[in-house]
Amino acid sequence: MIPAAFDYARPASLEEALADLAVHGDETKVLAGGQSLLPLMKLRLARPARLLDVGRLRELHGVRGLDGGGLAVGAATTYHELLVEPAIMGLALMADVLPRIADLQVRNRGTIGGAVAHADPAADLPAVLLALEAQVVARSARGERTLAMADCLVGPFTSALAADELLTEIRLPAPSGAYGSAYRSIDQPASGYALCGVAAVVGRTGGGSGPFDDVRVAVTGVGDIAYRAVAVEAALAGGATPTEAAVHATDGVEVRADIHADAAYRAAMAAVFVRRALEAAIARAG
């Protein structure tokens, strides 16, 4: 349980961090909370030559409002900091998921940016951020770019970030209209990771009481990455009930199997928890 030798750097500013990655990015892992990276290093499943510790950079912490609505969350903001931020807890999906993540110790150290960059296929937050249609801001010495959350997740434990890029911010757009959302999951008891987790958002962009014309359903723990269940979305928007739409929970997805659950069980749970998340979201939408 002792990691391989590595060099350690702690930049004093964001610009210093970007300059460091421009030179050493190929051999560096970024450290913020360390709740995923450090256990992998202790098991020697990860052997970075260098760690770049950005956890104390003030530029990467906190929540601010965006012009035109929505929120921007610094990538090194911890789960605990999010839990005590009223603007975040006013979002039903975030209020559902944040208290469920790991335990108090992990929530005090783990970061929202780490959850995105690590791209764990069983983590809760990627599904929530997909359903919220979050955007990810990445910076490097070459400039800045903004990615849709769906484009940031490219494979299990693999994000679209380049070696010299630093994830700096996650942007959560503000919904317009009548919306409801919910997160429901079944977790592996020992680790707390999702065997299947579902984030659902339903909305009427024009308000009123007609059919939902904005439906977003994201699933984690089932495929190689968190994914949007587009067939479920289309079915519900087309007038299907949650039960009818939920049968499409794994359409087009290669359901994964591991020591915790086989593919058949995960597929069955995906249908169950898609239905539950949709029913809860619809109830909240009114």
CA distance 177 to 196: 29
CATH classification code of 178-285: 3.30.390.50
Q: Dihedrals φ, ψ of 178, to 5°?
A: -100, 115
CA distance 60 to 79: 14
Q: What is the CATH number of domain 58-172?
A: 3.30.465.10
Residue range(s) of every CATH 3.30.43.10 domain in the chain: 7-53
pLDDT of the residue at 203: 94
Q: How far apart are the first and last CA of the chain?
A: 51
Using the structure block, give the residue that is written with the tokens 């990860």.
46
- Write out pLDDT tens, residues 43-65: 999 999 999 999 999 999 999 99
Look up the pTM and report it. Answer: 0.96
Looking at residue 195, its amino acid is: L
Contact 201, 115 (CB under 8 A): no
The token duo for 102 is 């790991």
Per cent of the chain over pLDDT 70 is 100
Phi, psi of 80 (to 5 degrees): -65, -40
CATH 3.30.1370.60 fits 7-53, yes or no: no
Contacts of 209 (CB under 8 A, 6+ apart): none
The residues of the chain that CATH labels 3.30.465.10 are: 58-172
Q: Residues 76-96: pLDDT tens digits? A: 999 999 999 999 999 999 999
DSSP output for the chain? --PPP-EEE--SSHHHHHHHHHHHGGGEEEESS-TTHHHHHHTTS---SEEEE-TT-GGG--EEEPTTS-EEEETT-BHHHHHT-HHHHTSHHHHHHGGGSS-HHHHHH-BHHHHHHH--TT-SHHHHHHHTT-EEEEEETTEEEEEEHHHHEEETTEES--TT-EEEEEEEPPP-SEEEEEEEEEE-TTT--EEEEEEEEEEETT-SSS---EEEEEEESSSSS-EE-HHHHHHHHTT--HHHHHTTTTTT------SS--HHHHHHHHHHHHHHHHHHHHHHH-
**What's the rounded Cα separation, in Å, for the pair 241 and 212?**
11
Dihedral class, residue 139 (left if φ above 0, else alpha if ψ from -120 to 50, else beta): beta
pLDDT value, residue 1: 77
261, amino acid identity: A
pLDDT score at 134:
98
Token pair of 36 as six digits: 């995923």
Q: Where in the chain is the domain with CATH 3.30.390.50?
A: 178-285
Average pLDDT of adjacent 10-residue blocks, the chain of 286 residues: 95 98 98 96 97 98 95 98 97 95 93 97 97 98 98 97 98 88 93 93 83 95 98 96 98 96 98 99 93
Starting from the edge strand earliest in sequence, which strands make up the sheet with 71-74, in order?
A: 63-65, 71-74, 166-172, 135-140, 143-148
- Per-residue pLDDT at 192: 81
